Amino acid sequence: MTSVPGPIKAKLRVGDLVFSRSAVFAGSMILVTLAAVAIFLIVQSLPAMVASKEDASILTTSFWDYVGPLVFGTVWAAALALLVALPIAIGIALFISHYAPRRLASVLGYVVDLLAAVPSVVFGLWGIGVFAPALVTAYAWLNENLGWIPLFSGTPSATGRTILTAALVLAVMVLPIMTAICREVFLQTPVLHEEAALALGATRWEMIRTAVLPFGRPGVISASVLGLGRALGETMAVAMVLSASPVITFQLLTSVNPNTIAANIALSFPEAYGLNVNVLIATGLILFIVTFAVNAFARWIVSRRKEFSGAN
- Domain spans of the chain? 73-260
Cβ atoms within 10 Å, residue 223: 26
CB 135 within 8 A of CB 160: yes
pLDDT in tens, the chain (312 residues): 555 565 655 566 777 788 888 888 988 998 899 899 999 999 988 888 887 777 777 887 788 888 889 999 999 999 999 999 999 999 999 999 888 888 888 888 888 888 888 888 899 999 999 999 999 999 999 999 988 988 888 888 888 899 999 999 999 999 999 998 899 899 888 888 888 888 888 888 889 988 888 888 888 888 888 888 888 888 888 888 888 888 888 888 888 888 899 888 888 888 888 888 888 999 999 999 988 888 888 777 767 665 555 545
**CB distance 199 to 106 below 8 Å:** no
> Where are the extended beta strands (E) located within the chain?
244-245, 257-258
User: pTM of the full predicted structure?
Assistant: 0.86
In CATH, what class is 73-260?
A: mainly alpha
